[in-house]
Amino acid sequence: MGDIWNVPGYVVRVVDGDTIVADLDLGWKMWKKDQHIRLLDINAPEMNLAEGKEAKAYLQAFLSPNDRIIVASHSIDSFGRVLGDVTLCNFDATNLSHLMVESGHAVWKVY
């Protein structure tokens, strides 16, 4: 594992129970827009299943467009998505991976 980058950003939309799209602020007025971010270390059901649709709906109900986030990442996956530990910048610094697992809408990955 290499360096971990902490990047602030804003939620654009939810793709499914373990992937969001965000605009990431790289600093110096440089942005990466519409970046797919795969929530690190979890798996949510696929969208062709009722449970997958429920997981997406749960995450959509929790997040709003333009919510501020911090993405801690050290790599991208084989699909070009940022692999990230995503924390919502709210009063309790909600970690989205923990939220999805604790709600029963995702499971921890087994490596």
CATH of domain 5-108: 2.40.50.90
Average pLDDT over residues 57-73: 97
* Structure token pair of residue 12: 């654009």
Q: How far apart are CA 46 and CA 33, in angstroms?
A: 25
Residue 2, pLDDT above cutoff 80: no
Q: How high does pLDDT run on average in the chain?
A: 95
Residue 1, pLDDT above cutoff 80: no
Average pLDDT over residues 62-81: 95
Of 81, 96, 95, residue with least CA distance to 36: 81
What are the helix (H) ranges across the chain? 50-62, 96-102
pLDDT-based confidence at residue 65 (cuts at 50, 70, 90): very high
pLDDT of residue 111: 81
Domain-wise residue ranges, the chain: 5-108
Of 99, 87, 109, residue with least CA distance to 37: 87
